[in-house]
Structure 1
């Protein structure tokens, strides 16, 4: 959760309105490890480039737009996300059932709640 992010605030508001029991992780302060990122990617069924905010200044500085999006480059992308957590798309909701969703819309939040 990034309190400066309107999508994060919206997701939290909806979770509260639905009476959901949840835990917030402030990923900019409690940075996920590469192993945790791999786990979430598996739960999402996505690749690291799918959850990378390529428009962020840090991404531009790293030249991420030019990085190959192929299995051989996967660890490089994961290391970038772990080293620069601001690049991680948000919010991501992980569920106790082992699933996860990038919850950028109310519909995605409701989908996570319905599992």
Structure 2
């Protein structure tokens, strides 16, 4: 399991704690230091089943000057902008070994991805 995080984010720290408590092996990627490529972002967006603007943090995107139309014709522009300004990427993003990917900002979503790491339906309800 891999978790993309910003260590100063409380939701990221809570997600790591929940993974540790559940005994789920995971790799931490500090995406502000190890910036995802456009291809990696495209892969994550595809696994999430969303558009790139759905994983953008609005406030940070505006601060970075990302002012693109939220339309499929601008998908590549969004991916490039997020790769250029990783602080605008929503967090934490967790990918389980089976490819299940979530933006784990709430306890229910976090429990769902933990279940993919433990093999236990539902997983623990921690956040």
Normalised to the residue count of structure 1, the TM-score between the two structures is: 0.92
Moved more, 105-114 or 7-16: 105-114
- The change in CA–CA distance for 1:15 and 1:87 in structure 2 (over 3 A counts) is same
Deviation of 1:59 (Å)? 2.4
The structure with the greater share of residues assigned to strand is 2
Tell me, yes or no, if structure 1 residue 62 matches structure 2 residue 65: yes
Contact 1:93–1:101 (CA<8 Å) still a contact in 2? yes
Q: In 2, Cα distance between the equivalents of 1:8 and 1:39?
A: 21
* Structure 2 residues not aligned, in runs of 5+: 117-127
Deviation of 1:18 (Å)? 0.7
1:46 partner SS? coil
**Deviation readout 1:4-50 (Å, 9 max, x if unpaired):** 00010010011111111110000000000000000000111111110
Runs of 4+ in 1 over 6 A off after TM superposition: none
Larger relative contact order (Cα-Cα within 8 Å, sequence gap ≥ 6): 1
1:93 partner SS? strand
Q: In 1, Cα distance between the equivalents of 2:91 and 2:64?
A: 20
Aligned CA-pair RMSD: 1.2
Q: In 1, Cα distance between the equivalents of 2:35 and 2:64?
A: 20
Q: In 2, Cα distance between the equivalents of 1:105 and 1:45?
A: 18
Q: In 1, Cα distance between the equivalents of 2:23 and 2:108?
A: 16
* Structure 1 residues not aligned, in runs of 5+: none
Q: What pairs up with 1:38-49 in 2 under 5 angstroms?
A: 38-49=42-53
